[in-house]
Structures are given as C-alpha cells and as structure tokens.
C-alpha cells in the first residue's frame, strides 16, 4: 500500500437507499455517486472477485469499492467535503459517514503505544532469531505452551480439524512450509498489495490456528484445518474499516457456507455504524472470533475494541502462562473467553518462527478450539459451537462470568468431547 495523496479528500462510506426507495430508480448507485464526484472513479464490484484478487494502487483515491447488493447498497470512496455535502442532500442516499482506521492487535518487542497497536515487519526479525535459537526444531514439532495450555493435543486422536475451513482476516498469510497443505489461498482488499503477508501478523495468527503436525517447526491448535487469507490490513499493520467490510461481505456472500470460523485479530476504538451490518451478515454462517484489544499496561481503562464489542462477535482476552490476565489485554462485559496471549511462538514470513504477544495471539487459540469442536460436531450450527465453547470453559477469576476472563479459559478437550444432541 503506497502513501496516499488525496489532496484534502477523506475516505467515506456512502449508504444508498434500497433501489425501490430511490428517486432515480433506473440509475445504478455508481452513476448516482459519480454525478456528485469530480474525477472519474474506477468502481470495483467486491462480490464478483475471485481468489487471488487485489485492488490496484490507489494513491489519489480514484478507486471505489462497490457492494452491489440489494440489502447492502454501499460504496466506499475518497470524497471532498463539497462532494460529501452534495451526497447528503441527494434523495437517493441514506447516509454518508467517515471510514476510519483499525489495527492489528499483536505486540512486537518494539511496539510503541504512541504509534498505534500494530508493528512493522522489520521489528520482528530480532525476536524471530531469538526464538529460532531457543528450541524451534527442523527435526521435530514443537508444541507452543498455549496449544498445550488449552488441552488441544488431547483432542488430536479424535480430530485435528480436517475439513474445517477457517478464514483469517488480517495482513494476509505467507505460504510457510509449516502451513503447506492447509493454506488454500487468499484474496486482498488492500490497494496495491497481494494477499501474501509481508508484515508477519497474519502468518503468526495462522500458525497458531493450524500449523501442521509434520515433524518440524511448531504445531497449531487444529493442525489439519484449512486456512484462507483475507487481507484487510496492509503490510504496515493498519487498515480502513471499508476493507474489513469488503472482506466480510465477500466471505459471506460467496463463501459463507465454506467458512466455519473467521479469526479477526484486529480492532479499533471506534467504528462506523455500517460495520455492524457486515458483522451480523457474516456471522449468520460463520463464527467470528475476535481480539478484545491491546492497551499500554498502565492505561486506566482498557475497554473492548471494535469489532469484538459487537454481540455477534466472540471477544477473547489474553492471559499469561500463570493463567492471569495480561496487563495489556482489553477487558469488559463483552469478553466471553480468554486464551494464551503472551510469548506465543508461531510461524512468520520467510519460513521463520517468532514469539509475539497480544490479544491477537489469544483469539486464534479460540479459533483453533472452535475448529476442533466443529470437527466432532459437524451437524451443529456455529452458534451452537460457540455455546459449547462457552459452557465448557475453565473458570478463572471470580466464579461465573467476569470482565477479565469472560466465562473462562477455552478448553479444547471439554468442547471437542462435549455430548450434544444438537
């Protein structure tokens, strides 16, 4: 993603009225939008894109993402204040609201709160080298402490998640040797960037979910689950909400029956109202596992970030190896489960391995657990899988649900072998 030069414009979400409610019923919404916008825009119909797609570079804001759907008639575009005012007066338009930014929720050793809750790929290298020299072997699988802590290995004789599809909405996934056979491909909604990860965050998340049990490297929670990278965060670790909405729409509209689980290790302190529409739509078929968010350890408040704050998302906080809440972890009434999120070893670009911390690292433990549970409960809907995960969690903190641990630490063994009549 190259640096933008929008010449005073900002990115917006334009929500149109349904076609039968518009004044200009014969015009497509892209025609209506173009009438109020000076430069000629290049519209990309999100829903018809196929695997491997990536939007072109868009430094001047001339590319608009089009959600061509009767129920969700929206366009995401860069607009001037004058253009926004014109669209707000248009009788065909229901709402115009700012887009906005969100970030990867993983912490590198060099994470600086003042620069946002994300890291750059170059910051991973020293930590990667340290971890490689401390036990990740080319001759045998290393089981990261988090995978053992949530009792995943106890399930592998019954299921490794084979045939379960997990979407990773993140910085993409690098085709790591330890993911070979499980990684099916990807798509990007980040201008000028392919779905292949050049940051490290998405690859690390993917490895925790489904690094293979193949005799080398590390092993994930569900080592036979299928992975698909949906790139909604740029290689700098930041993204526009419109990219996430495009990814969620594409996942549900054309592959909703394929993806059992989606991992969203990302978040922001505020979000456009339109985001919840896409969260609700995607969650009709797919369990959305989300990171609660990261904060400086001394922050007075650590509220759960968006989209984890939404009811249809399963919000996950991070714990340390002693089963206590991580100092950086978001917390609040929205938290349902907690999982390991400190010093988690997993895959990184370049066939490397590294240790990272964050609620970004906690969420994929739960996504992997959901894949294992799904593996032994294939007739159940994903809402029922979510219920099983919650009901079989190991309580931490005060009895019952609380703001730090939710219902407790996810328990793969309890969920996978839970007896359910459906």
Catalytic residues, which ones?
170, 201, 360
334: left (phi over 0), alpha (psi -120 to 50) or beta: alpha
Residues 328, 357: Cα–Cα separation, whole Å: 9
CA distance 29 to 18: 10
Q: What is the 3-state secondary structure (H, E, C) of 145-156?
A: HHHHHCCCHHHC
> Which residues contact residue 298 at a Cβ distance below 8 angstroms, ignoring those fewer than 6 apart?
none
Exposure class string for 219-249: b at 16+ Cβ within 10 A, else e? bbbbbbbbbbbbbbbbbbbbbbbbbbbbbbb
Residue 151 buriedness (CB in 10 A; 0-12 / 13-18 / 19+): buried
Q: What is the CB neighbour count within 10 angstroms for residue 85?
A: 12
Residue with tokens 């045939």: 163
Instruction: Answer whether the bond into residue 41 is a cis peptide, omega within 30°.
Output: no
Distance separating alpha carbons of residues 140 and 135, to the nearest angstrom: 10
């Amino acid at each position: 993603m190259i640096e933008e030069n929008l010449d005073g414009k900002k990115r917006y979400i334009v929500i149109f009225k349904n076609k039968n409610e518009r004044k200009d019923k014969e015009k497509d919404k892209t025609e209506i939008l173009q009438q109020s916008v000076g430069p000629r825009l290049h519209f990309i119909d999100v829903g018809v894109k196929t695997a491997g797609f990536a939007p072109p570079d868009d430094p001047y804001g001339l590319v608009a993402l089009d959600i061509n759907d009767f129920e969700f008639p929206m366009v995401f575009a860069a607009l001037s204040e004058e253009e926004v005012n014109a669209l707000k007066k248009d009788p065909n338009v229901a709402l115009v609201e700012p887009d906005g930014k969100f970030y990867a929720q993983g912490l590198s050793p060099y994470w600086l709160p003042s620069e946002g809750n994300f890291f750059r790929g170059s910051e991973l290298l020293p930590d990667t080298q340290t971890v490689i020299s401390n036990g990740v072997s080319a001759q045998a699988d290393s089981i990261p402490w988090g995978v053992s802590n949530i009792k995943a290995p106890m399930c592998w004789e019954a299921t490794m998640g084979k045939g379960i599809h997990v979407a990773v909405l993140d910085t993409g996934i690098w085709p790591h040797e330890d993911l070979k056979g499980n990684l099916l491909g990807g798509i990007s909604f980040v201008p000028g960037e392919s779905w292949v990860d050049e940051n490290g965050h998405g690859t690390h998340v993917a490895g925790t979910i489904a690094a293979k049990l193949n005799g080398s490297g590390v092993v994930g929670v569900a080592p036979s689950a299928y992975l698909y990278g949906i790139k909604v965060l740029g290689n700098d670790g930041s993204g526009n909400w419109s990219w996430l909405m495009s990814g969620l729409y594409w996942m549900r509209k054309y592959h909703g029956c394929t993806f059992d689980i989606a991992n969203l290790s990302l978040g922001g302190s505020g979000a456009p109202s339109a985001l919840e529409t896409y969260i609700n739509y995607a969650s009709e078929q797919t369990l959305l596992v989300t990171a609660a968010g990261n904060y400086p350890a001394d922050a007075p408040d650590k509220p759960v970030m968006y989209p984890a704050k939404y009811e249809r998302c399963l919000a996950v906080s991070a714990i340390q190896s002693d089963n206590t809440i991580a100092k950086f972890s978001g917390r609040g009434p929205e938290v349902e489960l907690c999982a390991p999120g400190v010093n988690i070893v997993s895959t990184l670009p370049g066939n490397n391995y590294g240790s990272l911390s964050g609620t970004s690292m906690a969420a994929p433990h739960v996504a992997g657990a959901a894949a294992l549970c799904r593996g032994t409960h294939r007739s159940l809907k994903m809402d029922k899988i979510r219920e099983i995960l919650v009901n079989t969690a190991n309580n931490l903190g005060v009895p019952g649900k609380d703001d730090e641990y939710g219902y407790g630490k996810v328990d793969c063994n309890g969920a996978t072998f839970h007896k359910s009549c459906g």
